[in-house]
A and B are shown apart, each in its own frame.
Chain A
């Protein structure tokens, strides 16, 4: 285990040390102490390493992650795991806005609540939120799964494509072209796997599935007035 004091040694030193491991297959473990809400901690990683951040972080923690497992023992600011490609990011506290935005793969687990725009423009990432999510989550979501054990705010899945949304609690409102859909056996299987990997104590049967009504996909002459 390598320990890095962020307050004493600075952000550039940390990210370059972690990025130097990119491309290697060594499963080393790192602990970052004194993050004190700093931005862009552990970004651009591309190696199967374990990084634990002891405290809360600012903007863009674990952005563009590939392969690495990043655990935050605190809360995160806006844009955690933005554009993640693979690997796992676990937030033990809450996440601010646009968590997992544009993520293309990997698993983002938020054990507290996520605020607005969680999973905006998601493109294949899986996101599991143990608490609630705010408004406009998964706006223009294209692929991947957003699982919410608590409640969802306004306009869930507005203008979404093929991303799937599973919500156990209430949904304040659905966005344009987002509808409730039938939960089929294959969805139960997807959900069972994600809940297990996210350490979530919930039954797949308790969730409802939402997704695209596919009405906004193509130009429809009857809507010409609206353009």
Chain B
């Protein structure tokens, strides 16, 4: 099954409420995916800085002194904000790749959830409500966000199997469905130099989009490519620094509903997820067409 929720804010006055609205939507989708949950939030940006969100199963030991150690390794200033099993490392812009290599040496076993100017990804095993509480998702603000509740099919119930997946700067993807050609595609993308960390099918979908965009495709063109190159069932909702996109496979057996008002664009696996959004009674509500790419930009 799996549940997807997404919210792309058009009216800036709603940005402080992004986390609160997405959390309600996410919890409503618990019975579509009770084993793990995750959220990508596109939050604040600081001039000349970039963010790395990391996760550890032993956060106390992993995050203790990490800012100092990383600052030394990068010879630049680094600050850390710890949130439960996750931490957001604030670095000078352009240092994300170097930091990733340094972290692999400093804290083997620690996972990088996301890297980019505005993106932060939080995901864990457990009921969506509990996951949201652990990271205080309700308190988060931002311009857009994507959430996922997981019922695992293609790989184990683990933190790294949870969505969203991020395989490029400020990019993320969530998926409802299952891909059947992910092994062959993973091998191909790895040969092309794309980093893929797990055995999960969805991560291959995310990596595919990253690879397309690295080779000059726009988000819309990359999404179009999934219709040709991916085999299986998928509803994808993707985020970039300023964009939000949706695509469904041509069979379109996985459910999807969208709503748009002057204030926001919203995605839900079911209409239930959207019912408490402001002005939903007068929103344009529709089912996205199969094999059709939708995207919005700020």
| Contact partners of B243 in chain A: CB under 8 A | none
Chain A 10-40 residues near chain B, CB threshold 8 A: 36-38
CA distance A94 to B275 in the complex (A): 16
Q: Are B252 and A36 in contact (CB under 8 A)?
A: no
Q: Are A97 and B255 in contact (CB under 8 A)?
A: yes
Main secondary structure of the interface of B (DSSP, over half): loop
In the complex, whether B286 has a CB less than 8 A from a CB of chain A is yes
| Contact partners of B272 in chain A: CB under 8 A | 36-38, 58
Main secondary structure of the interface of A (DSSP, over half): loop
Min distance, Cβ A182 to any Cβ of chain B, angstroms? 32
Taking Cβ atoms with an 8 Å cutoff, the residues of B that contact A are 250, 252-253, 255, 257, 270-275, 285-287, 289-290
Asked whether A116 and B271 contact (CB < 8 A) given A97-B252, A97-B253, the answer is no
Closest to B31 in A: A39
Min distance, Cβ A30 to any Cβ of chain B, angstroms? 21
| Contact partners of A58 in chain B: CB under 8 A | 270-272
In the complex, whether A134 has a CB less than 8 A from a CB of chain B is yes
Q: Are B255 and A77 in contact (CB under 8 A)?
A: yes
Q: Are B290 and A77 in contact (CB under 8 A)?
A: no
| Contact partners of A104 in chain B: CB under 8 A | none
Q: Are A37 and B270 in contact (CB under 8 A)?
A: yes
Chain A 100-139 residues near chain B, CB threshold 8 A: 115-116, 134-135
CA distance A56 to B255 in the complex (A): 15
Min distance, Cβ B203 to any Cβ of chain A, angstroms? 28
Min distance, Cβ B222 to any Cβ of chain A, angstroms? 24
Other contacts beyond A57-B271, A96-B287, A97-B253: 17, CB < 8 A: A36-B272, A36-B275, A37-B270, A37-B275, A56-B285, A58-B270, A58-B271, A75-B271, A77-B255, A94-B287, A115-B252, A115-B287, A116-B252, A116-B253, A116-B290, A134-B252, A135-B252
| Contact partners of B287 in chain A: CB under 8 A | 94, 96, 115
Min distance, Cβ B105 to any Cβ of chain A, angstroms? 49
Min distance, Cβ A227 to any Cβ of chain B, angstroms? 24
Q: Are B290 and A56 in contact (CB under 8 A)?
A: no
Min distance, Cβ B168 to any Cβ of chain A, angstroms? 32
| Contact partners of A56 in chain B: CB under 8 A | 271, 285
The 4 A-B residue pairs with the shortest CB-CB distance in the complex, in nearest-first order = A37-B272, A37-B271, A36-B275, A115-B287
| Contact partners of B286 in chain A: CB under 8 A | 94
CA distance A135 to B253 in the complex (A): 11
In the complex, whether A78 has a CB less than 8 A from a CB of chain B is yes
CA distance A160 to B272 in the complex (A): 34
CA distance A58 to B269 in the complex (A): 11
Min distance, Cβ B180 to any Cβ of chain A, angstroms? 20
Asked whether A37 and B255 contact (CB < 8 A) given A94-B286, A135-B290, the answer is no
| Contact partners of A59 in chain B: CB under 8 A | 270
26 contacts between A and B (CB under 8 A): A37-B270, A37-B271, A37-B272, A37-B273, A37-B274, A37-B275, A56-B271, A56-B285, A59-B270, A75-B285, A77-B255, A77-B257, A77-B270, A94-B286, A94-B287, A96-B255, A96-B257, A96-B287, A97-B253, A97-B255, A115-B252, A116-B253, A116-B290, A135-B250, A135-B252, A135-B290
